[in-house]
Each structure stands twice: as structure tokens, then as C-alpha cells.
Amino acid sequence: LPQSAEPAPPAPIIRKKLNGYVGFANLPNQVHRKSVRKGFQFTCMVVGESGLGKSTLINTLFNTSLYPPKEPLPPSAERPQTVAIESISADIEENGVRLRLTVVDTPGFGDFVNNEDSWRPIVESIETRFDSYLEQENRVNRQKIVDNRVHACLYFIQPTGHSLKPIDVEFMRQLHNKVNLIPIIAKADTLTDDEVADFKARILADIAYHNIHIFQAPTYENEDEEALAEAEEIASKIPFAVVGSDHFVKTPDGREVRGRVYPWGVVEVDNEDHCDFVKLRQMLIRTYMEELREYTNDVLYENWRTEKLLKMGVVQDQSVFKEINPASRMQEERVMHEAKLAKMEAEMKMVFQQKVQEKEAKLKQSEEELYARHREMKEALEKQRLELEDKKRRIEQGRPITPEKTNQTGRKKGFLRT
């Protein structure tokens, strides 16, 4: 064989400093221009009992009145019996960058007497969105894929100050590998700073105990110190204790702020000393929106897709996905079914034979017992016959029979009256 059959050593990477300007340093600008032109798309789900301030927070986060103020239901109104899934979309623009924001609301969650399966319609909605994306990917023409997948789920925890409730744990356990979970302590202005700190610690302990995976700000190896510090700061605030308010109020020092007025002062939404709203917005919109989208696509959707395709009988060989054609799959299944039937038949035969053998052995034994009884009876009869003959002989000879054989009247049995 020629020497060249051996694998070639990897080509060395030549690192050179360019003398002239070629222009690829402009690549980030190209990406930027294209992204701005295309716009961005983000879908956020909000889950939590009604009245926890979900609509208010969404309006506060995106500075829109996406949700009109809700009228509380009159006492006589018929209340819905199931969790509903409702989406609202809006195109918002900031400095020429367009964002198509979709908020998926889940009214009814946790509002019933029995909330056992409240999570189910939500999981189904997330999976249906994955299904729709997969179906579009598999189309012949996949130029225009509409991405309805949920990129983040804000889970509103009631500000009880205790720990997570069973419904919170169950929801997060069911959802954590399908969506980026972002836990939020709702209406944090109802708790003191110390209560918030204790509550956060207990929630985190519960989350760790139940092995729930919540979205973590990612950090990369060669990231600058500023980015690392920012990621750390955001991480230290999870679960975010937030206050929502979409209207402006006047502070005692005369500033106009978004906040809530109390007899003892004003809680400012955008003040980091008052609540974690700013950090939540930073995580969700300013710093990690792209990461949330990427993690949804690369990890959550990918895992779900692999599982789904494997269940459908699509197997992955070394490098490519190979789909088994349905006919050969059916043939394979038939062969397997036949083998199973043959095995069952053989087992049944074996059991049958065993039973027959047992029965035969039993019959043989009772036959032997019968023979033995027959022999015994025969011997007894023969003995009786001999005795009678003996008696007969004695009588004929006029001799008495043995004295111990007497009948009930005390007469000797062998005496015959003549």
C-alpha cells in the first residue's frame, strides 16, 4: 500500500497580522444591519394566580399598555373552570429597532378549588408550539418559519413570606425542561426587606431540593470583567422581587416616577434600592433576550425534538438522521410479534407436557395402590378360606373349635347342635 493511506496531519493554523485592511472587521455591522432590518421576535409567558400583578408587570416591563386595565368579575359572574391560554402581540419600536412581542397569558392558573392539573394546559401549549415549529422545519419550503415558541416564562410567586406552595413546585417541575423559567416574587412591596431576603433564601432552597432548573445568566470564558460582574449581580437577585406600576406618581422630592404611593412614601419601580424590577428587565430584555432565545432553540427545543423523533421511530446513526421507511418498520414489527407468539407457544407446550407427566405419575401411583389393595384382599380371602376349611375339617372329625372363639351368648362358637 502507498504511504499516503495514512491520515494527513492537521494543517497548522497560521496566525498572521494583516498589513492592509480587507474589511471583515465589518462583519458585526453586517449582522447588526440585517437584524435591525428583520426585527426581533420574542414570546414571553406569564403564569400565576390572578391578581398577582401579571398584566401590570408586563405593561411596566415593555412600557406599553399591552394589557388594558382589567375589570374584576362581579360576584354573580360565571367563572371559567379551566386554565385558558391567551396571546397578545404588539410591535414595539425603540431607536429604530423593532420588536414583535407576544405575551402568552394563562388566566385561571391556581384560581380553582382543585388546582391539581393547572399546569397541564400550559405544558400542552408549549409542546404544541414546539410541534408547529418542527412541522414547519420539515416542510419542503421553509423560508418563512413562524416561531411561536415560548422563550421565557415568568412565574409569579405569591408574596406569602413562607416558602413555595405545592402548586408552585409542581408547575416548575413540569415545566423546567421545556421553557426558561424565571421565578418572580409578585407585589414585593407587601414584604419588608428582611422578609424578602428570607423568602428568597427559602424559595431557592426549595428549588434546589426539587432539582428544578431555572434560567441562569450564562457566563463565557473570555468575557470581560464588567460582563461577569453584571451576570453575577443579576444572578444574585433571583428570584426577582418586583413591584409593578404603569403610571407615574410624584415623589416627596418632586420627581415623576413609575411607582406606588403609600401613606409612608412612594415605592419606585425603577429604583434598585426599592425592588428588583430593573434587574429583571436587564435579564429579560437588555442583556439576555438573545440568550433566552438561543437556549430555547439549542437546548430546550432540541431535546424535545430528539425525544419526539426517537418516539416516532426516527433513529440517528453516526452522522445523519436516517428515517426507517414505514413498510420495513411494519415488517420488523411483524417479525418481532411472530417471535413473541412462537415463544409463548413453546412455553405453553412445555407447561402442558409437564402437567401431563405429573398426571401420569399420579395415575401410576394410584394403580399401584389399587394392585396392593387387591393383593391384600386376595391374601385375606385366602386366609379366610383356609380357616373355614380348617373349621370344616374339625367339624367333620367331631372336634371342638378353639375355645377362645365364643359368641355373645357365651356359647362356644364351634359347637353345633345336632
Q: Which residues bind ligand GDP (CB under 6 A)?
A: 50-56, 70, 187, 189-190, 243-244, 260
**273: which 3 cell numbers?**
434600592
For ligand GDP, the closer CB: 147 or 189: 189
**166: which 3 cell numbers?**
405545592
For ligand GDP, the closer CB: 190 or 216: 190
For ligand GDP, the closer CB: 250 or 405: 250
Identify the CA nearest to 285 among candidates 94, 120, 145, 140.
94
**208: which 3 cell numbers?**
434546589
Q: How far is the CB of 210 from ligand GDP (least distance, A)?
A: 24
Q: How far is the CB of 13 from ligand GDP (least distance, A)?
A: 54
For ligand GDP, the closer CB: 179 or 243: 243
CA-based angle 43:46:50, to the nearest 5?
155
Task: Determine the residue with CB nearest ligand GDP.
Answer: 53
For ligand GDP, the closer CB: 213 or 247: 247
127 and 175 Cβ atoms separated by less than 8 Å: no
For ligand GDP, the closer CB: 125 or 245: 245
For ligand GDP, the closer CB: 239 or 244: 244
For ligand GDP, the closer CB: 23 or 69: 69
Identify the CA nearest to 301 among candidates 101, 129, 183.
129
Calpha distance 126→123 (Å, rounded)? 5
For ligand GDP, the closer CB: 151 or 187: 187
Calpha distance 330→335 (Å, rounded)? 9
Q: Order of strands across the sheet with 152-157?
A: 86-94, 97-105, 40-47, 152-157, 181-185, 240-241
CA-based angle 292:296:298, to the nearest 5?
115
Bridge partners of 48, per DSSP, are: none
Q: How far is the CB of 207 from ligand GDP (least distance, A)?
A: 22
Q: How far is the CB of 55 from ligand GDP (least distance, A)?
A: 3
For ligand GDP, the closer CB: 56 or 180: 56
